Structure 1
Amino acid sequence: MKRHQNLMLLSVVLLLVLIPLWLVEKPAAGADGKQVEIFAGADNKAQELIVQIDPGYTPWFEPLMQPASSEIASLLFALQAALGAGFIGYYLGVSVTREKMSRKTPEQSAAPDEINNLVD
């Protein structure tokens, strides 16, 4: 029964993810005939502005790896953000737990005295 519920929940989640992706249309070409990038971010806008200000500008260095498309670049950025958030969350969780475990409650501090009284 539990397995059936899990399978049903998984199929509902997949449908809720895939239906909007299926319904979204690809954007039309821009006025200049170039394909419009959906996930173009601030980096592209900054690059265009720099070229407008100084057409002869050359970058200081080239990237080690150039993603195939802006969608893949966005995916890599989101993955990096998720990993960073996971690391920070893990660190905060460990810190809070370590702090709670290091505190002594009155029951814990009284326990050694009771043991000494029993021994005597």
Structure 2
Amino acid sequence: MKKIPSWALVILTFLLLSAPMLVNSGSNVDEPFAGTDAAAETLVEDANPGYESWFSPLVGELPAEVESGLFALQAALGAGLLGYVLGAYRERNRNELEETRKS
């Protein structure tokens, strides 16, 4: 099998990570990276102008720094949990393999 040079992998990774920012970046001038909540709110208001929300958030509007911090915390906890589960499965498989070799 032919090996891919590491510089090519770095360039490919950069292109994959930058593509979402380049594609469709000018479609929403006010907020180029507006979330799906804002898009859904706009669609609901267009479909039913008299709609009243039946739920209000438990916490008021949070500053952008707090939101991004909570999002980063959520990502870190998810990555930690995923790493733990993958490590536990790997160790369990390793222990089972050692037990079958001993017997």
TM range (shorter): 0.5 to 0.7
TM-score under structure 2 length normalisation: 0.55
Q: Is 1:65 equivalent to 2:63 in the alignment? A: no
Identity of aligned residues (%): 46
1:45 to 12, 18, 39: 39
Matched to 1:43, the amino acid is D
Higher relative contact order by CA 8 Å / sep ≥ 6: 1 or 2? Answer: 1
The answer for unaligned runs of 5 or more in structure 2 is 1-28
1:1-120 to 2 correspondences below 5 Å: 36-37=30-31, 40-103=34-97, 104-106=99-101, 108-109=102-103
C-alpha distance in 2 between matches for 1:44 and 1:71: 18
TM-score under structure 1 length normalisation: 0.48
C-alpha distance in 1 between matches for 2:73 and 2:42: 26
The answer for unaligned runs of 5 or more in structure 1 is 1-30, 110-120
Q: How many aligned residue pairs are there?
A: 74
Larger Rg: 1
Q: 1:38 to 1:79 in 2, by over 3 A?
A: farther
CA apart distance, 1:86: 1.7
